[in-house]
Structure 1
């Protein structure tokens, strides 16, 4: 039975401190019904070796055998379904290389699997949870407590609800989440007396308790949850990605006091998370996934309008696409040929096409027939994602998909986007992240008046922005603004982008010739920005006089690029001025947590940042002309400099000779000790031309020191 806590119990064992000490190698692999020996082997390998690009099972098993040799290992194979002995035996061949005492934990709902993979007496069948345990889970998720002491008037109703959970921890958890922060007995009685309890269990085995939880979701959240049936079982997803897809599908049109779609999407996501429909990944806390039974519930809720194709589909698509199909997704494989998509172009009303790559795979390949023929025919598409496919170009007629709102070509080999993209007037989200060959966007980008999110980070060859980008006044996300030369969009185009939020990188600042352009940016007014990165490239000056002018210009430009006081992270790279502006160390930047300075090689002194009250991480690299770190670094005569700093790292400061951390006078070391009260890590790496001067890591908060 699902939802009894098999995976949770395995996680407790896997993460136990004593277990971590006992086994030198640990790995967790989600198996699921779609058994993929190559994928499972790669996941196990990556637990220790990082990214693995090989896709041949024999080669992978040789690598894994070498990895496990002479090691005591612990492997967890979570949610195994396959009873095929040969497949399982083939997967387990490399495991024999481990030392005696190595262990494999298998979780399964299939008794046939259990009898095949265990020795006599090694299987542990989980039964229903005892009533008291189920009650504790329910109370914890509904009231945030361990008992009803503070809410006795709810205890009788709560116990009756728990009795209907039949000992299922998942049911108790989801129903508890449904009643979170609800203290009116009427709300609890409504759940207890719901007619949904009287419905028969359907063929998917979805528990009545889960359907009750779904029934009480707000109507717009129900639609969002049903759409999540596109995510395969065990697939880990990002909150922002899901919210943007909900936006593209028009699922966030519910009017709530003028709330923006993104905010409504975040709140809908939080509702599903708080009610245990989504749970955080144990591997990556920034990502989420759904329990298998919750996924079954989403499929039940979506009916025939959503379909997610298995990654090992055999290519026979006859009859699998319903006439009512609106949303389609599939797990990308290494090579996706045309047979996989046969019949799809006949689905007249398809609105969503999502290729969902597993994060463990890098370059993937897809037939050009899909890109140039199948997708352009699907004129009702709202969302298209072909991320991680090694695609070199897009068809010119992609601009005919007039209803398109979401377009994702991240991690592709595209060099130039076609001009026709500028006619996608309904486009809300364009993602071209990690497109390392992308040189330019398309002209007339100003036509995309509905564009809200332009995600172009890590596209390092992108050296200019198209003209009229400043007309995109609806833009909330702009990862990178590259200041180009000549007739490209200048820095002042950023002035009208008043709604920018999250992170912004401004590169190519060496191309700014007029200080007034920097003043026009008005970063102080962009109060939703959390992180700002300012980057200058290599100097192109050829004479002493022009170099002086450039240094003066860069100094004034940085002065004009003062951000708002609520900024949390700032990076300055390649700055060519001789000193930093006074605003940089102002204590009014009381939210600033991270500061990074890189290759500011004309500066003769470090910035005065000791006053910053919330600064936790400070990284300084490549200050070639600094030979003395003096009192100005700590804020001159600040009584307690760097009150919150935890990590301080210096690197590649070739001329550094002396560090005065505090006014010595009569107080000496006693006075100096008042600074850096929370410092935990101090790292100094200085490489000189002919020898290594010093390399040390000093963990201030502990007794350990290391030096090389």
Structure 2
């Protein structure tokens, strides 16, 4: 819209394509997203004249048109989308999980040495989101969540049918070339299970989510591990397993291991530390694990670790030696009081999540020296007081400038439900004053002042919720684009349009929402911010 004069013939071609869509909303949305990225008149003509339209009358019309949109994807995107078929319909995808899955299968290779596979995965994901291949997109806490429409899932199943298969029963026929399997129902006899495994060749992916008790639980898992030694991805999430077989350590090609939400597992075999090619390990929801394996320092390829444990601290496992680790997520550790020393040795650490650790008292002293850290999430930690964090506060009082050259510079900071927090400390924001782009603070009922904040010159998005005692904002936010304040009476009053004391600080933002009311500044309409 608004570019009709630049592309006069595209509108005419577009109208003809719309007529062919027969008014089906999903088709219109998906095709519209696809063609938006193709301003070439020739590309639109090729699309309009495709033979697929002629087949519509003979076949399933909607399926045929959606298949046409799939055919327009790049080879890389086609592969990534096709492997989504290994997840049943109506699956709630987590963006980081899907990207790690693609990475495990080697789908995120780049000719540029400095480009990380995670960044490639984000680019692919955003591309498919922009083309409406995913739906129900939502930013759930600190990660993206979404689904695939059932009809598009049918497309994925169709194009991947020679490599991927969702198995609902052990009696199901399996094509000989299948390399990726998701088993959704294991409630069968040992004999049927054995026959089923005999049908399968050299699997690369084995998903066994929500495996239940019976003749095909632990013994079935061990049989699978011994038979499929070339696995790159193994998903045992949501099972009632009590013991993970030691044989797991022999899967030397394994890149991705998901044993999340297995509440009966109390201990992991130390043999898991022999997985030197493992890139991703999900342990969230395994809140009965009494102790992590002692030799985790040898998991030299680990890039994403999502863990839970009953331990009071994380000393003695070599976590500080995981040089490749980019994401560390510590979730639901009800007894955890302290993390581990030497966190500054994690030179690749890009993202740190610490959530629902209600006994956590302090953060490691070395955290401020993690130069690569860009995203920090701290939430639901009832005893954590960032503003008086041991040596951090002591050194801050001794020398206010000692942090300037540490390299600690965040781009995103999310803080939630920290009742002991009264003020954000200098160490947390001083080095990030010129780099922080996104800041969210919610549920900090005793947070009273931001008087010590620096000028946040790069801040683009600020969201503050349920901080009733908070009364001040940063002095300067010249790049602010989005401001949202909810249930913070004092701050809301100070940001009232034209009359609030802090209105001059935020008036240039393109979107301002105060307690559900959207404010559009008159001057923005006259002189919009570039």
Q: TM-score, normalised by structure 2?
A: 0.73
- CA spacing shift, 1:158–1:380, aligned 2, 3 Å: same
The match for 1:350 among 200, 203, 207 is: 203
Cα deviation code 1:98-141 (max 9, x no counterpart): xxxxxxxxxxxxxxxxxxxxxxxxxxxxxxxxxxxxxxxxxxxx
Quick check: 1:616 aligned with 2:463?
A: yes
Quick check: 1:412 aligned with 2:262?
A: yes
Quick check: 1:570 aligned with 2:420?
A: no
Q: What SS does the aligned partner of 1:568 have?
A: strand
Cα drift, residue 368 of structure 1: 1.8
2:258–2:281 CA contact under 8 A, matched in 1: yes
Partner of 2:148: 290
Cα drift, residue 421 of structure 1: 0.6
1:328–1:352 CA contact under 8 A, matched in 2: yes
Partner of 1:175: 31
Quick check: 1:446 aligned with 2:285?
A: no
- CA spacing shift, 1:636–1:528, aligned 2, 3 Å: closer
The match for 2:164 among 306, 309, 329 is: 306
Q: What SS does the aligned partner of 2:36 have?
A: coil
Task: Say what the alpha-carbon RMSD is for the aligned residues.
Answer: 4.9
Partner of 1:529: 375
Distance 1:301 1:212 in 2: 12
Cα drift, residue 404 of structure 1: 0.9
Partner of 1:388: 238
- CA spacing shift, 1:492–1:379, aligned 2, 3 Å: same
Cα drift, residue 520 of structure 1: 6.9
Quick check: 1:436 aligned with 2:275?
A: no
Cα deviation code 1:223-280 (max 9, x no counterpart): 1121122222333322222221111111222435743211222222222222232222
Cα drift, residue 422 of structure 1: 0.7
Partner of 1:220: 76
Cα drift, residue 342 of structure 1: 4.1
Q: What SS does the aligned partner of 2:165 have?
A: strand
Cα drift, residue 591 of structure 1: 4.1
Q: What SS does the aligned partner of 2:240 have?
A: coil
Distance 1:270 1:538 in 2: 35
- CA spacing shift, 1:218–1:526, aligned 2, 3 Å: same
2:368–2:427 CA contact under 8 A, matched in 1: no
Ranges in structure 2 where 5+ consecutive residues have no aligned partner: 477-481, 507-511, 519-530
Partner of 2:183: 330
2:164–2:180 CA contact under 8 A, matched in 1: yes
Q: What SS does the aligned partner of 1:384 have?
A: strand
Cα drift, residue 216 of structure 1: 1.9
- CA spacing shift, 1:534–1:189, aligned 2, 3 Å: same
The match for 2:120 among 264, 267, 270 is: 264
Within 5 Å, which residues of 2 pair with 1:577-588?
A: 581-583=425-427, 588=433
Question: Which structure is larger by alpha-carbon Rg, 1 or 2?
Answer: 1
- CA spacing shift, 1:306–1:597, aligned 2, 3 Å: closer
Distance 1:497 1:534 in 2: 27
Cα drift, residue 570 of structure 1: 3.4
Partner of 2:523: none
Quick check: 1:455 aligned with 2:306?
A: yes
Cα drift, residue 406 of structure 1: 0.8
Cα drift, residue 478 of structure 1: 0.2
Cα deviation code 1:275-326 (max 9, x no counterpart): 232222699895333333322221221122211123xx4xxx3462222111
Within 5 Å, which residues of 2 pair with 1:463-502?
A: 463-480=313-330, 490-501=340-351
Partner of 2:522: none
Distance 1:205 1:503 in 2: 46
Cα deviation code 1:451-493 (max 9, x no counterpart): 110012x5454631444322322211101399x99xx984223
Within 5 Å, which residues of 2 pair with 1:137-286?
A: 145=1, 151-194=7-50, 207-255=63-111, 258-280=114-136, 286=144
Within 5 Å, which residues of 2 pair with 1:685-696?
A: none
Distance 1:448 1:608 in 2: 44
Partner of 1:377: 227
* Higher deviation after alignment, 445-454 or 319-328: 319-328
- CA spacing shift, 1:473–1:207, aligned 2, 3 Å: same
Q: What SS does the aligned partner of 1:410 have?
A: coil
Q: TM-score, normalised by structure 1?
A: 0.56
Distance 1:700 1:610 in 2: 27
Q: How many residues align?
A: 481
Cα drift, residue 408 of structure 1: 0.8
Ranges in structure 1 where 5+ consecutive residues have no aligned partner: 1-144, 358-362, 540-549, 622-628, 651-658, 664-671, 682-698, 702-708
Distance 1:272 1:520 in 2: 36
Q: What SS does the aligned partner of 1:646 have?
A: strand
- CA spacing shift, 1:330–1:500, aligned 2, 3 Å: same
Cα drift, residue 376 of structure 1: 3.5
The match for 2:394 among 531, 553, 556 is: 556
- CA spacing shift, 1:567–1:158, aligned 2, 3 Å: closer
Q: What SS does the aligned partner of 1:375 have?
A: helix
Partner of 2:527: none
1:326–1:351 CA contact under 8 A, matched in 2: yes
Distance 1:203 1:339 in 2: 40
